[in-house]
Structure 1
Amino acid sequence: MAASDTMRAVRIAEHGGPEVLEPTEVPVPAPRRGEVLVQVSAVALNNTDLWTREGSYGRPGDPEALSGWRGPVDFPRIQGADVAGRVAAVGPGVDAALTGRRVVVDPAIYDAEGPDANPVGLMGSERDGGYAEYVTAPAERVHDVTESPLTDEQLATLPTAYGTALGMIERGRLRKGETALISGASGGVGLALVQLARARGAKVLAVSSGSKTGPVREAGAHEVIDRASAVPLAEQLRAAAPEGIDVALDVVAGDLVGEGLPLLREGGRWVVAGALGGYDVTFDVRRLYLHNAQVIGSSMHTPTHFGLLMDLARGAEIRPVIAATYPLEQAARAQEQLARRDHVGKIVLRP
């Protein structure tokens, strides 16, 4: 257990700007039956941290409503979905041999027990997360990565960005030799998609802009298409993939869906896991049904996907890029940098 009964944490008590992130001292949580207590070594930031803080998810029937991604947030809430650390203590019914092991936490709260369960909640949103010195998690969601050559910071980047990316790739059934289009390729999920799609043996076309195209190419993209170019995007895509695209892995949405759907090959799949370019989408539905195409929504990952990701982490088959590291107390500054979107890679807090 912790040397003291309190810990440093950063939490939000309401929706708002970075100013609502409040450094504070709170009791160290006690692991309940079936849970472990993890001492947090590193916690990575995600867009969901910004959107949860701002309450910008909307609700069914009311897209402008202030809301977390699954409804109202139970304040005060400690943010932070992506935790790497060590098991400090175990609750009743948990194997004590886990104590001291280096772990990554699967942040998803699932709707069922099985390997293909859907995520319906998230650590840092529906339960307290890793913007703290300690966090509790169900023992079955804690993955032993003691042997991984990746650093704690690199491990912390994996759960949401790489989990979301692998979920998209699996749901889109991307196979070796297929052509993948990746939008928003310099962001956390985008770079993860580039690395994972390349590792799977796909031909990777990535959409990025300006100064970020170099790092995207380094991450494994075969071709990088500059969104800021004067040449229309669809024209650039057609030139880069004259045979068409098998799977689009899209975190931007907006106009890209309507522009890009006609570029899908027969039986192509358009997988959407974000709306950075806007949630209001228009497309020609004939391009969908006449070509047996599919538009697939993808939110996070299943327990099976996360297990595959941890295997990749143990073998260091992916190499996450760290853009910046901040101490816990500077969570607001870290979120401000994330919101500016002028970085490549992941931003990490070190409690």
Structure 2
Amino acid sequence: MISGASGGVGSAAIQLAKARGAKVIAITSPSKFDEIKSLGASQVISRHDDIVEVLGKSSINVVIDLVAGEAWGKFLEVLKPKGRYAVSGAIAGPIVELDIRTLYLKDLSFFGCTVLEAEVFGNLIKRIENKDIKPLVAKIYPLENIVDAQKEFLKKKHIGKIVFSI
């Protein structure tokens, strides 16, 4: 399951997981469902839905979380025992609350994902060159228009990365 599925990292994560044979469940805004499914998501859930109600407790093997915030506790509820939680973003809020019993009773593994092994970037480039994945660029701004880019980002209407030209 991938939260923040319509962003640059989320859209890449969908494609990478699909290329590795995973069944991908993506969380995004309803207006983006069709485009996210076209990237390879098997199921798309609204970011406004209660994912525990939709998926059920202990139903997911891996969560790739790019938003954190209030939904964070629900992400742990849907993880199966021995599930893996990876995080690389906190756009919905960096401070979360953990009932530590959830961690140890489910025997969960947590991973922060910002520092990568040397071979990861090369493998990613190979996937792009082999057309296994396609980086999505939503919009390009000149660096001097960084304020406009931030405003566009906060609208949450884009799919893919907002990038800068220098």
Name the residue aligned to 1:213.
33
Q: How far 1:306 moved relative to its partner?
A: 1.0
Structure 1 match to 2:7: 187
Q: Per the alignment, do residues 275 and 266 of structure 1 end up closer, same or farther by CA in structure 2, a change over 3 Å counting?
A: same
Q: Which runs of 4+ in 1 moved over 6 A?
A: none
Match of 2:25, SS? Answer: strand
State which drifts further: 253-262 or 194-203: 253-262
- In structure 2, do the counterparts of structure 1 residues 286 and 243 end up closer, same or farther at CA, with 3 Å as the change threshold? closer
Match of 2:51 among 224, 233, 255: 233
* Counterpart for residue 129 of structure 2: 314
Q: Does 1:285 align with 2:105?
A: no
Aligned counterparts of 1:205 and 1:247: Cα–Cα separation in 2: 10
Quote the residue 1:197 is aligned against: 17
How much has 1:272 moved relative to structure 2?
A: 1.2
Q: CA deviation at 1:262?
A: 2.4
Higher CA-based Rg = 1
Structure having the larger proportion of residues in strand: 1
Supply the distance in 2 between the matched residues of 1:257 and 1:334 (Cα, whole angstroms). 27
Q: Distance in 2 between matches of 1:322 and 1:333?
A: 16
- 1:328, distance to aligned residue in structure 2 (A): 5.0
Give distance in 2, aligned partners of 1:255 and 1:348: 28
Structure-2 separation of matches of 1:303 and 1:248: 23
Give, in angstroms, the shift of residue 227 of structure 1: 1.7
Which residue of 1 is the match for residue 66 of structure 2?
A: 251
Within 2, Cα distance between the matches of 1:349 and 1:272? 24
Over the matched positions of the two proteins, sequence identity in percent amounts to: 42
* In 2: Cα distance, 1:340 partner to 1:214 partner: 19
Match of 2:114 among 275, 296, 299: 299
Unaligned runs of 5+ in 1: 1-180
- Secondary structure at the aligned position of 2:24 is classed as strand
**Which is further off, 214-223 or 321-330?**
321-330
Deviation at 1:313, TM superposition (A): 2.2
Partner of 1:26: none
Query: What is the CA distance between 1:243 and its match in structure 2?
Result: 6.6
More helix per residue? 2
- For residue 325 of structure 1, report the CA deviation from its aligned partner: 2.9
SS at match of 1:287: helix
Which amino acid letter does the alignment assign opposite residue 126 of structure 2?
D
- Equivalent residues, number: 166
Which has the bigger relative contact order, CA under 8 A and spacing at least 6? 2
TM-score (norm 1): 0.44
- Note if contact 2:58-2:81 (Cα within 8 Å) is conserved in structure 1: no
Q: How is 1:164-175 mapped onto 2 (pairs within 5 angstroms)?
A: none
Displacement of 1:250 in angstroms is: 0.3
Read off the aligned partner of 1:233 and give its amino acid letter: I
Distance 1:278 1:328 in 2: 26
Given residue 184 of structure 1, which amino acid in structure 2 is its aligned partner? G
Query: Considering only aligned residues, what root-mean-square deviation do their CA atoms show, in Å?
Result: 2.0
**Partner Cα separation in structure 2 for residue 325 and residue 265 of structure 1:** 40
Tell me the amino acid that sits aligned with residue 192 of structure 1. A
Would the alpha carbon gap of residues 291 and 215 (structure 1) be closer, same or farther in structure 2, given more than 3 Å must change? same
Q: Contact 1:261–1:283 at 8 Å: present in 2 too?
A: no
Q: d(CA) in 2 for partners of 1:263 and 1:237?
A: 7
Change (3 A) 1:243 1:285: closer
Correspondent of 1:340 among 145, 152, 155 = 155
Shift of 1:327: 4.3
Task: Give TM-score scaled by structure 2 length.
Answer: 0.88
Tell me which amino acid in the other structure corresponds to 1:252.
V
Contact 2:52 2:77 in 1 (8 A): no
2:73 is the counterpart of 1:262:
no
